[in-house]
Amino acid sequence: MVNNKDLKVLIVDDEVDFLIDLRHHLQKEKYQVLTAASGKEAIACARKENPNLIILDINMPEMDGVEVCRHIRELPEFSNTIICFLTNCNEDYTQIAAFEAGGDDYITKPLKPEVHLSRIRAILKRIDPTSHVPITIIGDLIIDREKFLIILKDQKIELPRKEFELLEFLTSKPGRVFSRDEILNTIWHKDFTVIHRTIDVHISKLREKIGEKYIKTVKGIGYKFEG
């Protein structure tokens, strides 16, 4: 398992008091903590420090969190970085915009510090370098777990973390139909509540990148991968 001291967490929020408070609690847990008070500062810090987790407030002036996330996901060096959104908003459309931009998780304010810490611990537990077999080959699709990269017909395609995990899950048993609840519980975990529309967004993005023929919709049930 990864030690806390080996993990970098970047907190991005224009509320200075909240920023300082969360940084203090994470530092007590021995994480390496970086902070930024604006979107531009966050991008610069991320490029310099390459954090494992970015906790990103959505509602910021000038450049909001969704725009920051979209910019970061365009950079291949952040394909393994977990991005968790932090916001006061609770509307479905806000969640959808966050995930469409490449977000992995979502925390709604306000929460007590111990609740924040519990959620962050659960998110960071996903980072385990011993849990991956490096390469899987299914037909003309190669999945490289070390690089969060797929190769389809000799073409390299880099995927955001959640899209990669979703594809990896569907290809774990080609031809098997996975229900929406199975997908939500496996990819987004029971500690996090998302809407089913989130799955549709990620499936749509995967189909744009690898083609329509591989991931089939089973009406009223879920999805399956056909190699």
Domain residue limits, the chain: 4-124, 133-225
pLDDT computed for residue 132 by the predictor: 43
- Selection from 93, 119, 169 nearest residue 159 by Cα: 169
pLDDT digits (tens, 9 = 90+) for 70-83: 999 888 778 778 89
Task: Quote the tokens at residue 13.
Answer: 């929020």
- Is-same-fold flag (4-124; 133-225)? no
More confident residue, 210 or 149: 210
Region of 139 on the Ramachandran plot (φ > 0 left; ψ -120 to 50 alpha; else beta)? left
CA dist 188 and 190 (Å) reads: 7
CA 40, CA 34: separation in Å to the nearest integer? 14
**Which of 40-54, 138-152, 184-198 has the least mean pLDDT?**
184-198
Closest C-alpha among 18, 59, 17, 51 to residue 34: 51
pLDDT value of residue 92: 64
pLDDT of residue 89: 64
CA 145 to centroid of chain Cα atoms = 15
CA distance 112 to 116: 6
Say how far apart CA 148 and CA 134 lie, in whole Å: 10
Fold (topology level) of 4-124: Rossmann fold (3.40.50)
Indicate if the pLDDT at residue 106 is higher than 90. Answer: no
Question: What value does the mean pLDDT take over residues 9-16?
Answer: 93
Is the separation of the CB atoms in 73 and 55 below 8 Å? Answer: no
Q: Measuring CA to CA, how many Å separate 71 from each of 31, 64, 76, 98, 204? A: 25, 11, 11, 12, 20
pLDDT for position 131: 45
88/104: higher pLDDT: 104
Q: Which residue has the higher pLDDT, 131 or 92?
A: 92
Range with the lowest mean pLDDT among 44-48, 103-107, 130-134, 172-176? Answer: 130-134
**Predicted confidence (pLDDT) at residue 49 exceeds the cutoff of 60:** yes
pLDDT of amino acid 94: 74
Per-residue burial over 15-34, b = 16 or more CB atoms within 10 Å of its CB, e = otherwise: beebbeebbeebeeeebbbb
What is the model's pLDDT at position 130?
45
Q: Which CATH fold topology does 133-225 show?
A: Arc Repressor Mutant, subunit A (1.10.10)
Determine the angle formed by the axes of helices 39-49 and 65-73, rounding to 10 degrees.
Answer: 30
pLDDT in tens, 124-160: 876 654 444 457 777 778 888 777 788 888 788 888 8
85-95 mean pLDDT: 71
Q: Ranked by mean pLDDT, which of 3-7, 47-51, 136-140, 188-192 comes out on top?
A: 47-51
For the cut 80, the answer to whether the pLDDT of residue 46 exceeds it is yes
Q: What is the DSSP letter of 14?
A: S
